[in-house]
Amino acid sequence: MSAAVELFDLHADGTPPADPLTLAREWLPADDEPDRPQVTLGTLGTDGCPDARTVLLTAFDETGFAFHTSAASRKVAELAALPRASMVVLWPGFTRQLVLRGEVVPDAAESVAAAWAARSDHLRRLAWCNTDELAALNRDERLRRWAAAPVGPLRTQAPSWVGYRLQPVELTFWAGGVDSASRRLQYPRTADGWRWRHLAG
Ligand SMILES: Cc1cc2nc3c(=O)[nH]c(=O)nc-3n(C[C@H](O)[C@H](O)[C@H](O)COP(=O)(O)O)c2cc1C
């Protein structure tokens, strides 16, 4: 969190920031903090049944909330069919939740490359090696193939590495409290910009 940002208390009576990104910047770690938020990414399955999985929130700014993945993954096929998604960020200790809903666009090439550079060697090796073919092998063979993949060349960006940005049409900040009811602050995007309203938690 930037020291320049004044914290807004969701339970207080003050006027919320006009721009929800201001509040998101208070709540979420800065993009260069290595411990990335784990978010539940919801998409619509191509069979019409909702789908979800955990991904790391790589970065966020005015252009959207970025995540990175394999081009061969099911989420990518689902986003090709319907480029809309939700994200739920849950804080450890269950005191806060941020829910995003919006449109999804491909991430810029330089941002995809920066996300690759920031990933650990383990995660880069996963991006290169973690295929359905590997997953179908027995344990000994999987361990052998994993150990046989030298880390050095794997630092080159994997061709399957892709990224997306969720551009929210709605952000909902939820705060719990032991001494009062939980409360939400919801920002719908309108033609005139962001509005906000308080909702029961
Ligand atoms: C804590 C955690 C973090 C994860 N982060 C990512 C990620 O950033 N990108 C990714 O593609 N998969 C990530 N995964 C794996 C996904 O949850 C999922 O299994 C994989 O992406 C395939 O999803 P799909 O078949 O729905 O596309 C993560 C899993 C966990 C448990």
The answer to the question of residue 193 being in a domain is yes
DSSP type of residue 196: -
Around ligand 1, the residues with Cβ closer than 6 Å are 38, 51, 53-56, 67-70, 73-75
**Ramachandran area for residue 131 (φ above 0: left; ψ -120 to 50: alpha; else beta):** beta
The answer to the question of residue 130 being in a domain is no
Q: What pLDDT score was predicted for residue 12?
A: 87
d(CA 195, ligand 1 centre) in Å: 32
The answer to the question of residue 135 being in a domain is no
The ligand 1 atom nearest the CA atom of 70? 11
The ligand 1 atom nearest the CA atom of 58? 8
The answer to the question of residue 9 being in a domain is no
d(CA 53, ligand 1 centre) in Å: 6
Residue nearest to atom 10 of ligand 1 (CA): 69
Measured over the CA atoms of residue 147, residue 150, residue 154 and residue 158, the dihedral's sign is negative
The answer to the question of residue 12 being in a domain is no
The ligand 1 atom nearest the CA atom of 53? 17
List of residues 6+ apart from 63 with CB closer than 8 A: 108, 165, 167
Residue nearest to atom 6 of ligand 1 (CA): 55
The answer to the question of residue 131 being in a domain is no
Mean pLDDT over residues 133-144, rounded?
95
Whether the per-residue pLDDT at 2 is higher than 50: the answer is no
The answer to the question of residue 34 being in a domain is yes
d(CA 41, ligand 1 centre) in Å: 9
Quote the tokens at residue 149.
């993949």
d(CA 10, ligand 1 centre) in Å: 31
% of the chain beyond a pLDDT of 90? 80
Residue nearest to atom 25 of ligand 1 (CA): 74
Q: What is the CATH number of the domain that holds 87?
A: 2.30.110.10
Number of domains the chain is built from: 1
How much of the chain is in helix, strand and coil states, percent to nearest 5? Answer: 25, 35, 40
The ligand 1 atom nearest the CA atom of 76? 27
The answer to the question of residue 28 being in a domain is yes
- The model's confidence at residue 6, banded by pLDDT at 50, 70 and 90, is low
The ligand 1 atom nearest the CA atom of 67? 8
For residue range 17-64, list pLDDT tens digits in order: 999 999 999 999 999 998 999 999 999 999 999 999 999 999 999 999
Q: What pLDDT score was predicted for residue 71?
A: 96
Tell me which residue range forms the domain holding 85: 20-119+162-200
